[in-house]
Structure 1
């Protein structure tokens, strides 16, 4: 079995990894080349216990966050650490979050960039759709 190395994509962060939030400095400080505002279309944001969940929903709205480009020498370790933080086991649909490649619009110039996004895993997403609390406007810090 051959493991495919994931591409070095930027991360789209919308919760505790955003600048000024609790996990930003612990995981990202000194490990990024760029952090800039972005938005993810076709998703809604739900308030979870202590952190938000993006749930994919075509035509459902948008989620606001930051596009974070990791320094090349930090990338592989950062990817593993963020997977662990997000309780994401690649390939396991029972994970709290799943890491997916999605198009994110960079707000400064309107350019679409492919990025890693951690969205609610299928079980969590179904529960949130049934009885979760949506965050109007898709911006967690502004809630």
Structure 2
């Protein structure tokens, strides 16, 4: 049995930055986020590269100048946050010991209107990130939908 997801009981109601199948219209948005969103805004995560999974993307920290990931900043409705956080941690195989496919990190993103916001971002877990650095599957546009 995997360890409990990190910060699941004390996460604070941060919005989520989503960049792949959890974006509006994506297959996992329909299952896990549709009807739970209070606000959805276009946003960008700087300092990260988007890689093809395949079938779903991974965000990997990357200091290359200009590297960024296009996505959405999603704020959930009150009452939807706890169940959605748990469901997303399960979906992303996010584990407290960082052995899952993804890790959830609090990072700064910028909305299309220039507002800087802290958000939960699912990044590639350490083993996945190491594989992608060794054998990149870079999506140069940084946009999963408009590759």
TM range (shorter): over 0.9
Moved over 3 A (4+): none
Residue 109 of structure 2 is aligned to residue 104 of structure 1: yes
Match of 1:80 in 2: 86
Structure 1, gaps ≥5 residues long: none
Decide which moves more: 41-50 or 59-68.
Answer: 59-68
Q: How many residue pairs get matched? A: 139
Residue 49 of structure 1 deviates from its aligned partner by 2.0
Residue 121 of structure 1 deviates from its aligned partner by 0.5
Match of 1:26 in 2: 31
1:13-69 deviation line (CA, Å, top 9, x unaligned): 000000111111111111010011000000000001210000011245100000000
Give the TM-score normalised by structure 2.
0.91
In 2, distance between residues paired with 1:63 and 1:28?
A: 20
Match of 1:14 in 2: 19
In 2, distance between residues paired with 1:96 and 1:133?
A: 16
1:51-101 deviation line (CA, Å, top 9, x unaligned): 000001124510000000001110000000000000111x22211000000
Give the TM-score normalised by structure 1.
0.93
What's the RMSD between the two structures over aligned residues? 1.2
Decide which moves more: 52-61 or 6-15.
Answer: 52-61
1:92-117 deviation line (CA, Å, top 9, x unaligned): 2211000000000011x201000000
Match of 1:94 in 2: 99
Match of 1:63 in 2: 69
Residue 10 of structure 1 deviates from its aligned partner by 0.2
Match of 1:140 in 2: 144
